[in-house]
Amino acid sequence: MPQTPHVERHFTGSESVRDVVIGMSDGLTVPFALAAGLSGAVSSGHIVVVAGLAEIAAGSIAMGLGGFLAARSDAEHYEQELARERKEVETIPEAEATEVAEIFESYGLSKEESRPVIDALRQKPGAWVNFMMRFELGLEEPLRGRALRSALTIAGAYAIGGFLPLFPYMLLTRMRSAFSLSVTLTLLALFMFGYVKGRFTGTAPLRGAVQTLVIGALAAAAAFFIARLIS
């Protein structure tokens, strides 16, 4: 495979982490905001729970299946481009060699300076194809089995994140208490999640924590005021 071990590690880690982050960011935010919003407009905690669970079902299916199809379509796109490059390297090697020279020219290298590399690649068609995939098209080979794992990771993270803000409405009968507990728990969870997310993705943890908290709070506030306005 064309990737150096360094790059391979980089991408493996970030794709799984990114899936958890994608699922849990939205899972902690949208069902929470919907529950907070509805609790300003309806008098029954039961409706909040019904709407929240319906939202979790819809959201985790939409995001999980969406992630599945996106990952599968990335894999198909890679295969199509790979087949095209293979054919081009075989049938129009001169044009491909010119493309490689142009890539190096864009880094200020003359045709003479890049010629030894091009001549060497022409001796190794398999390596040449991999070189074109990465350096002409900027494509990484997708990991096998990624589509399904991605789907389950995103959907699971969404559902786990979404249950937390609903628990208080299941346990407590007084709407006001359920609302307060839900908001407190979820804002705390958003802060902690943002902190951990920051550590994984390279943002400063505290800044990640504050950003994630603010998104959740803004979404919930918007939902609350819109629901109250029209109810």
Size of the site for a copy of itself (CB under 8 A): 84
Q: How far is the CB of 102 from a copy of itself (least distance, A)?
A: 7
Nearer to a copy of itself, 120 or 206 (CB): 120
Q: Please give the residues from 192 up to 221 whose contact with a copy of itself meets the rule CB under 8 A.
A: 201-203, 211, 214-216, 218-220
Residue 29 interacting with a copy of itself (CB under 8 A): yes
Q: Are 59 and 26 in contact (CB under 8 A)?
A: yes
Q: Are 216 and 29 in contact (CB under 8 A)?
A: yes
- What is the amino acid identity at position 177? S
CA–CA distance, 102 with 125 (Å, rounded to integer):
19
Q: How far is the CB of 125 from a copy of itself (least distance, A)?
A: 11
Among 20, 24, 26, 96, binds a copy of itself (CB under 8 A): 26
H helix count then E strand count, the chain:
8, 0
Nearer to a copy of itself, 42 or 185 (CB): 42
Among 12, 13, 46, 79, binds a copy of itself (CB under 8 A): 46
CA–CA distance, 214 with 46 (Å, rounded to integer):
27
Residue 137 interacting with a copy of itself (CB under 8 A): yes
Alpha carbon 170 to its chain centroid, in Å, reads: 30
Nearer to a copy of itself, 181 or 200 (CB): 200
Residue 227 interacting with a copy of itself (CB under 8 A): yes
Among 96, 128, 161, 209, binds a copy of itself (CB under 8 A): 128
Q: Tell me 140's DSSP state.
A: P
**Per residue in 145-161, is it b (16+ CB within 10 Å) or e — as a string?**
ebbebbbbbbbbbbbbb
Among 138, 144, 173, 174, binds a copy of itself (CB under 8 A): 138
Among 23, 45, 59, 168, binds a copy of itself (CB under 8 A): 59
CA–CA distance, 146 with 76 (Å, rounded to integer):
12
CA–CA distance, 39 with 166 (Å, rounded to integer):
11
Q: Please give the residues from 67 up to 126 whose contact with a copy of itself meets the rule CB under 8 A.
A: 69, 73, 76-77, 80, 102-104, 106-110, 112-117, 119-121, 124
